[in-house]
Structure 1
């Protein structure tokens, strides 16, 4: 397997070390394709990530969001009973999948159904960053009244 060395990049991106780290993480994630996932846009500010987690129960999955990084982990519980397989085609190995979230994206809910873990996301902009419309008033500039005085 071919690996990329990003160490020369770290020397030339002073102040952008987070960007270099993201590139390195993206390269590492591309090498492992397990478990497969979809990212879907469900609305103007709504998204859904679907991860194929066949064979995992809800208590064997963990979802964590920390500093714009969504981490999904699957840890298979140890089976006390010994099973004898004639063919083993379901990959029930442990995994960790990470997704870099944009600013102001929050996880709204997660659901497990039919072997698919669906994580709903939405972008919530603070009121200060939302566009707002400014009313334009018309009229003469000198028509302001001072309290107690009226124009004759």
Structure 2
């Protein structure tokens, strides 16, 4: 696998730290696919992460939301020795991390039938939404006409 050196970009850019960190994290990520998961877009600003965590109970799983990151960890508490003829359901501890875009927040988490579902919502603050700016010096009738066409 190739590795890329981002140091020349660090010297000539300002404010792209998070982008380069994401690229480096993606490059280092292994092929650990446990537990399996889905990421769905439910609507324009709603998403859902579903993790298949068969064999775990809800009190053995923790979901932590930090700034731009949600971390899901699972640890089995059952340490009894059993004799398995075949063990197809993994019970190993896991830690899965998802990087979130700006203004995406974890709204809820639900555990049902071996699936952990985490609902995410993008809520852009009012100050960041586009807004119409009035132009000084325009006749009052002209401004109303522009507002009527925009609506």
> Which bin holds the TM-score, normalised by the shorter protein?
0.7 to 0.9
Q: Corresponding residue for 1:33? A: 33
SS in structure 1 of the partner of residue 141 of structure 2: coil
Shift in Å, 1:123: 0.6
The 1:119–1:67 alpha-carbon spacing in structure 2 relative to 1, beyond 3 Å, is: same
Matched, 1:111 2:110: yes
Q: Corresponding residue for 2:100? A: 101
Equivalent positions of 1:3-152 (< 5 A) are 4-6=2-4, 8-9=5-6, 11-14=7-10, 15=14, 16-79=16-79, 81-133=80-132, 137-138=140-141
Shift in Å, 1:75: 1.2
Provide the TM-score with structure 2 as the length reference.
0.78
User: Higher helix share goes to which structure?
Assistant: 2
Shift in Å, 1:78: 4.0
SS in structure 1 of the partner of residue 23 of structure 2: helix
Q: CA RMSD in A?
A: 2.2
> C-alpha deviations, 1:89-132, integer Å up to 9, x for none?
01111111111101111100000111110000001110112234
Aligned residues: 134
- Kindly name which structure, 1 or 2, has the bigger radius of gyration based on alpha carbons: 1
Provide the TM-score with structure 1 as the length reference.
0.77
